[in-house]
Amino acid sequence: MAVIVVGVDHEHASLDLLERVSIPEHRWGKVLRDLVSQRNIHEAVFVSTCLRTEVIATIDFFHSAIEDVTRTLAAASGVEESELSDLVTVSFDRGVARHLFEVAAGLRSVVPGEYEVLGQLRRAFEVAAEEGTVGPELTELFHHAVATGRRVRAETAIARGTTSFASAAVALALEGVGDTLAGARVVVVGAGQLASGVARSLIGLHPPLGALIIVNRTLARADALAASLEDPRVATADLTALPAILGDARLAVVAAESPTPLISTEDQRALPGPLLLVDLGLPRAVAPCDAPGVRRLDLDDLRERVDAALVGRREAVGHARSLVEADVERYLEGRRGRGAAPLVTAMRERFDEIVAAELARRAGELTDWTDEQRAELASVVRTVVSKIAHRPTVALKEAAGSEHGVRLGESLRTLFDL
């Protein structure tokens, strides 16, 4: 049995695709049930955030499992399977542990060391446990990954300073407006996971904002986000009201995807100012403009800020990677010791069944034999079969935890119908 990760993430896919393939938590259970209903998938954990949607699964056959997972994600998200197939990334066996441990440590995040991802992984595992889609393999893998994430944050300085994409965006905004938004009206455009993180960061500011307006193309989604914030300062509006709302705002953060700018050059020229626009969209959601009193920051500015913050953390990132690599090796060494055992047991039990069935079938031909002779025959046959099984057993144990070991396992399952 092998372990794979199949999914899309911010390192390889656009924010637009990530938004479309993202699945809300109340639907994770259905995704998990659909996954394990596939004959080839035995255990599964589903992770879906604004920056990654991934399935971690134990499987029998590699290529068909990728197809099963991709088809399930396409059905759940409404994204065409052909589009997903071109963009999914796959980690296999040893690469799974490295990938998951690095994710847990915050090394695969936009802002290295961010804390949110550790809670997201824990929650994904909890939901899978509630649905009964995890067993010993993924339970151990996730426990080790979370432990590594905690260790990296405790033993290195990687988590120093800004520790989330949303909070980094808000910090950038605060720098742009002069470190305070006390009493100001702020607008968040969008109602997805990124917009939610930005809104929560803004609501938690001290001194507090005066008002937060959530603007979204679908008003119901804006209302749902506002309700989850449980704050009387939060109001909602649809996109048609955005130009008027911007006139009284001090800051607007656009965390939405659109093929054309949501805030045009004309919109900006009509504003009285001063207004800071933070554009987190790809493609750009705010048109370029030189209107007086209006300033625009985008993802390039955010990356520069993160890079600047990381200058003092380069050593910490290197230290974190070395801790992760050591933990991956420890995990894999332990897994190798256990990995071949179930298949070896199944193979030997299968051989014993064949021997017992054949001896029983031929018992009528041995009526002239004494009990001692029949016992001797059975012993000889079992010894021969054991010697035949010896080399496959050794090969499985030596290759356990590797791609070669998985191929051997697949071959044995096919040859002996295990």
Active site residues: 50
Helix (H) or strand (E) holding 90: strand 89-92
Q: In this structure, what are the phi and psi dihedrals at residue 298, rounded to the nearest 5 degrees?
A: -135, -165
Q: In this structure, what are the phi and psi dihedrals at residue 193, rounded to the nearest 5 degrees?
A: -65, -40
d(CA 273, CA 252): 12
Whether the upstream peptide bond of residue 283 has omega within 30° of 0, thus cis, is yes
Bridge partner list, 4? 57, 92
Give me the DSSP letters along 125-186: HHHHHHHT---HHHHHHHHHHHHHHHHHHHHSSTTSS--SHHHHHHHHHHHHHTS--TT-EE
Q: Which residues of 204-234 are buried (b: 16+ CB within 10 A; e: fewer)?
A: ebeeebebbbbbbeebebbebbbeebeeeeb
Query: Which are the contacts of 288, defined by CB distance < 8 A and separation ≥ 6?
Result: 265, 296
**Is the Cβ–Cβ distance between 397 and 326 less than 8 Å?**
no
Q: Which tokens is 97 given?
A: 């542990």
Instruction: For tokens 């290759």, name the residue.
Output: 399
**Is the Cβ–Cβ distance between 403 and 93 less than 8 Å?**
yes
Q: Torsion angle, CA of 349/416/341/46, rounded to 10 degrees? A: -120
Q: Which tokens is 238 given?
A: 């649809």
Please return the burial class of 248, using the count of CB atoms within 10 Å of its CB with bins 0-12, 13-18 and 19+: middle
